[in-house]
C-alpha cells in the first residue's frame, strides 16, 4: 500500500499538470499580498552615511619622534569606541536636533542613528535613516557636524574631523521589494503544490471509496 506521507516526482508532475490553474491562483495570492504591502503599505527607509576621523591636537601631531607618533596613533585608535559612544550621547544628539529645527527631537534622532568604529583605525562611520533621501542626508550631516563641533566640550583628548560627507541616497534600503516578492513566490509555490497534492489524494481516496 502506498504511504500517503511519501510524494514521488511522477505524482508531483501529474498534479501540477492536472491542477495548474489552482496552483497558479494559490501562488499568486501571497505574491499579490507582498506587492501590496511592499509598494503601498510599508514606508520606504533611506540611509545616508558619513565618516569622521579621530585625530590628535596640533601639538600632538607635531611630535617628531617616530615611537611617540606610533604611540599617539595607537592611543587614538583605542579611543574610537569611546568617541563612537560619545557621538550618540544625549548632548551631541541635542546639538544635532537643534541644527534640524523643531522637526525632530533628540531621542527621535538618536533612534535613527547608527555609529560604528572601524577596527584598528581612527575612523568612525555614522549612518542615519529617514523616510526620504533628503531627511536621511540632513540627519547624518547634522549629527556629524554636531559631533565634530562640540566634542571638545565633552572630551579634550582628541579632535573629530569629517572625512566623507553624507550623500543623497538614490534608493531605499527598506523594504527590499525584490526579496519579499521572491520569498512570497517560493512560499506560494510550495503551498500551492502541497494543497494540490492533498486535494488530488483526497479525490482519489473518495473515488476508491465510492467504487467499493
Q: What is the pLDDT of residues 72-96, one digit of tens each?
A: 667 778 889 999 999 999 999 999 9
DSSP state of 44: P
* Interval 132-162: pLDDT, tens: 999 999 999 999 999 999 998 888 888 899 9
What's the pTM? Answer: 0.73
Per-residue pLDDT at 117: 94
What is the CATH architecture assignment of 46-164?
A: 2-Layer Sandwich (3.30)
Residue of 10, 47, 42 whose CA lies nearest to 125: 47
The residue extents of the domains of the chain are: 9-42+176-211, 46-164
Residue 188 CB partners (closer than 8 Å, separation 6+): 26, 27, 28, 29, 30, 31
Whole-angstrom distance, CA of residue 160 vs CA of residue 89: 15
What is the reported pLDDT for 79?
86
- Helix (H) or strand (E) segment spanning residue 50: strand 46-55
Please give the average per-residue pLDDT across 28-41, as a whole number: 93
Higher pLDDT, 1 or 134: 134
Average pLDDT, the chain: 87
pLDDT (mean) for 174-178: 90
Among 5-14, 22-31, 173-182, 199-208, whose mean pLDDT is lowest? Answer: 5-14
State pLDDT tens for residues 178-207: 999 999 999 999 999 999 988 888 887 776
Those residues whose C-beta lies under 8 Å from the C-beta of residue 110, and which sit 6 or more positions away, are 88, 90, 93
Residue 29 has pLDDT above 80, yes or no: yes
DSSP states along 109-174: HHHTEEEEEPTTSSEEEEEEEESSHHHHHHHHHHHHHHHHHHGGGT--S-EEEEEE-----SS-SB
Q: Which residues partner with 51 through β-bridges?
A: 125, 164
Residue 212: pLDDT band (50, 70, 90) is low
pLDDT given at position 190: 94
Task: Say what the pLDDT of residue 10 is.
Answer: 80
Sequence-ordered list of residues with C-beta below 8 angstroms from that of 114, at least 6 positions apart, any chain: 126, 127, 128
Residue 2 has pLDDT above 60, yes or no: no
pLDDT score recorded for residue 1: 44
Q: What is the mean pLDDT of residues 58-71?
A: 57
- Neighbour-count burial of 165, counting CB atoms closer than 10 A to its CB (0-12 exposed, 13-18 middle, 19+ buried): middle
Amino acid at each position: 500500500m502506498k504511504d500517503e506521507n511519501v510524494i514521488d516526482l511522477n505524482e508531483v508532475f501529474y498534479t501540477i499538470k492536472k491542477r495548474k490553474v489552482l496552483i497558479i491562483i494559490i501562488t499568486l495570492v501571497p505574491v499579490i499580498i507582498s506587492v501590496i504591502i511592499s509598494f503601498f503599505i510599508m514606508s520606504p527607509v533611506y540611509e545616508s552615511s558619513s565618516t569622521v576621523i579621530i585625530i590628535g591636537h596640533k601639538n600632538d601631531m607635531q611630535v617628531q619622534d617616530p615611537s611617540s607618533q606610533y604611540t599617539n596613533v595607537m592611543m587614538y585608535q583605542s579611543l574610537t569606541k569611546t568617541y563612537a559612544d560619545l557621538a550618540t550621547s544625549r548632548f551631541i544628539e541635542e546639538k544635532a536636533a537643534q541644527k534640524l529645527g523643531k522637526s525632530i527631537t533628540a531621542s527621535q534622532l538618536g533612534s535613527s542613528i547608527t555609529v560604528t568604529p572601524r577596527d584598528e583605525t581612527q575612523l568612525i562611520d555614522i549612518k542615519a535613516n529617514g523616510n526620504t533621501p533628503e531627511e536621511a542626508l540632513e540627519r547624518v550631516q547634522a549629527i556629524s557636524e554636531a559631533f565634530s563641533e562640540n566634542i571638545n566640550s565633552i572630551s579634550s583628548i582628541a579632535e573629530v574631523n569629517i572625512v566623507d560627507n553624507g550623500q543623497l541616497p538614490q534608493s531605499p534600503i527598506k523594504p527590499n521589494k525584490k526579496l519579499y516578492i521572491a520569498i512570497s513566490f517560493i512560499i506560494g509555490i510550495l503551498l500551492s503544490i502541497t494543497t494540490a497534492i492533498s486535494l488530488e489524494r483526497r479525490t482519489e481516496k473518495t473515488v476508491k471509496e465510492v467504487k467499493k
